[in-house]
Amino acid sequence: MNVEAYARLLPDITAANKPFWDGCAAGELRLQTCTECDTHRFPDGPTCPNCLSRSHTWQTVSGTGTLWSWFTMHQKYFPAFADEIPYLVAYIKLSEGPFMISSLVDPPAELELDQPVRAVFGPDATGRPIVRFTVEPVEPVEPASGAVTR
Amino acid sequence: MIAKDVAIVGVGSSNFHELYAEKDASRDPYGLAADALREALDDCGLGKNDIDGLLCTNLKYGRMGDVIGLRNPKFVHDLEGTGRMSGVSLQEACAIVQAGLADVVAVVYATVGRSVGMKYGGEDGGPTTAYDTMYGMTSTGAYVSLMYQRYRKMYGVPEDALAPLAINNRYNGARNPRAVFQREIDHAEYIGSRFIAEPLRKLDYCIINDGAVAFIVTSIDRARSMRKKPVRIAGTAGMAELNNHYTSPDFYFAACRGVADRLYKETGLGPDQIDCMQVYDNFLPTILFTLEGFDHAPKGSAWEWVADGTIGPDGSRPLNTSGGHTSESYMQGFALHVEAVRQLRGEAGDRQVRGCRTVQYMCASPIVTSHIFTID
């Protein structure tokens, strides 16, 4: 990891998003939550996308979700990640609704759609606590709706 | 909207092959745009001073107006340099002409993406992009890769499912003298192509290049006095799907279907009446999502539908006859509009679709658009 280049990719910590980063440091996933309609949002935004209320609190949420999809990057693109190739990027659907780009800690060789995941917290290459996800064992389930039997 | 009384009368585009061959050139996008505009004006027989509406994409309107000496257009503005804007700009041109805000609208686009080493997506995204880039999330191709991975798993799609699309585009590119890549590929070459954002391979990606495109839009009454047969916009429709990422939980299906329903109803035309398809193909999976959303192929099996020859030059619905973005050049949808016009006029040379009377442009993206073009 090119730490200097990676540091430039990180979001600035601002007054508006500091509770999220404080949550990461405390080992909790905290999201903005609308005080009028309870809609969660990520990343932080100026208004509730559901009811347009400007009023929100920060709530600690479940930290659970599902693996919507993933890909493996083989191309050098960001200098920060040049030494990490190939690396996996995951797209997580949080149980509370919002989607997050993240990475998986020690992913198994075979991944499944909609596999349960759980947020885990730890320092990145710069020492900043960040959220990643770990996949939970898959329980045998019926095929997901929308799947086609062939 | 039904735009039967509006037509494209002139088209122009760069020689993408020549521009690609000379990599280290320093090029002015406004100069490239002016070249394409001059070709479009020659194509229809109009002069520069006949233009009274100017829609610029990836170009600043003030600089464009100054460069081409167009001082007093009645309607002018610019649009961001994203692929979704090609369909939007034609929609605007139609609306402007129909509303009488201007009579002759020039739509111009240019990019020097290759010679300046432009990267799409990534660090130059919106204010929330850093939450993604910190995990190594890169560009639009990576988002399409996420969607395609899910699509593959949902529908049991094999690893080589995009090969027919890659092979088709290259076959068509080999018959387009302006295309960047004019060499056919086979299945083995496709499957040997290296991964970029796996499951996407290099041959699934569009070709970043320099180049420009222009077209001239006016009323059908005025169009009848031009050099060539006017290409009518039988209808056009759009619907956005806007969120924080370049992805859609249903691969843009509902948005595409919403556009398709209106377009087919208003024009009285449907997939079976389309002679040629121009599909926005930033990355090849987008074609599958588009064909399903616009009801050309059954949901979940477009990858099978494209494998049986239907989309080939002699099939019932030839696709991306110029080579598309993966062979002709990535001109963000604009050159696909020009190809639609050339096909309808019978000007497509070795890649001409026989008896081509209707062409559909489709773009599945955060702004879904589609038009159906016809010729008298």
Q: Domain segments of chain B: what residues?
A: 3-116+206-375
Average pLDDT over residues A83-89: 96
Residues of B in contact with A97 (CB under 8 A): none
Average pLDDT over residues A9-35: 97
Q: Please check whether residue A41 lies inside any domain of the structure.
A: yes
Residues of A in contact with B145 (CB under 8 A): 71
The confidence score (pLDDT) of residue B121 equals 56
Does the pLDDT at position A149 exceed 60? Answer: no
The confidence score (pLDDT) of residue B116 equals 81
The confidence score (pLDDT) of residue A148 equals 46
Q: Between β-strands A129-135 and A116-123, what pairing exists: parallel, antiparallel or unpaired?
A: antiparallel
**Which residue is listed with tokens 């935004």?**
A45
| Higher local confidence (pLDDT), A146 or A92 | A92
Gap between the Cα atoms of B189 and B117, Å rounded: 26
Q: Please check whether residue A65 lies inside any domain of the structure.
A: yes
CA angle B331, B333, B339 (to 5 degrees): 90
Strand partners, B237: B370
Cis amide prior to A43 (ω within 30 degrees): yes
**Which residue is listed with tokens 């905290």?**
A30
Residues of B in contact with A124 (CB under 8 A): 134
Q: Are B133 and A6 in contact (CB < 8 Å)?
A: no
- The answer to whether the beta carbons of residues B6 and B220 sit under 8 Å apart is yes
CA angle B224, B236, B286 (to 5 degrees): 125
**pLDDT class for A112, splitting at 50, 70, 90?**
very high
The confidence score (pLDDT) of residue A147 equals 46
Query: Chain B: which residues have CB within 8 Å of chain A?
Result: 119, 122-123, 128, 130-139, 142, 145-147, 149-150, 153-156, 194-200, 243-245, 247, 249, 300-301
The confidence score (pLDDT) of residue A20 equals 98
Q: What is the CA radius of gyration of chain B?
A: 19
Nearest CA in chain A to B301: A148
Nearest CA in chain A to B130: A11
Cis amide prior to B285 (ω within 30 degrees): no
Min Cα distance A96 → chain B (Å) is 15
The confidence score (pLDDT) of residue A27 equals 98
Tens digit of pLDDT per residue, chain B (376 long)?
776 699 999 999 999 999 999 887 789 999 999 999 999 999 999 999 999 999 999 999 999 999 999 999 999 999 999 999 999 999 999 999 999 999 999 999 999 988 887 766 544 456 789 999 999 999 899 999 999 999 999 999 999 999 999 999 999 999 999 999 999 999 999 999 999 999 999 999 999 999 999 999 999 999 999 999 999 999 999 999 999 999 999 999 999 999 999 999 999 999 999 999 999 999 999 999 999 999 999 999 999 999 999 999 999 999 999 999 999 999 999 999 999 999 999 999 999 999 999 999 999 999 999 999 999 8
Nearest CA in chain A to B147: A69
- The answer to whether the beta carbons of residues A48 and A37 sit under 8 Å apart is yes
Residue B137 in tokens: 């999330």
What is the secondary structure of B56-86 as a DSSP string?
A: EESS-HHHHHHHTT----SEEEEE-S-TTHH
Of B128, B134, B156, the CB nearest to A10: B134
The confidence score (pLDDT) of residue B299 equals 98
Min Cα distance A5 → chain B (Å) is 10
Residues of A in contact with B136 (CB under 8 A): 73, 78, 80-81, 84, 87, 89, 103
**pLDDT class for A104, splitting at 50, 70, 90?**
very high
The confidence score (pLDDT) of residue B87 equals 98
Q: Mean pLDDT of all residues in chain A?
A: 93
Q: Which of A3, A50, A77 to mutate to test the interface with B (most CBs of B within 10 A)?
A: A77
CATH fold of B3-116+206-375 reads Peroxisomal Thiolase; Chain A, domain 1 (3.40.47)
The confidence score (pLDDT) of residue B119 equals 67
Type of residue at A119? A
Q: Please check whether residue A143 lies inside any domain of the structure.
A: no
Domain with A12 in it: 3-135
Gap between the Cα atoms of B263 and B269, Å rounded: 8
The confidence score (pLDDT) of residue B114 equals 87
How many domains does chain A divide into?
A: 1
Give the Cβ contact number of residue B69 at 10 Å: 9
The alpha carbon torsion through A97, A101, A107, A113 (nearest 10 deg) reads 50
Q: Please check whether residue A112 lies inside any domain of the structure.
A: yes
The confidence score (pLDDT) of residue B24 equals 75
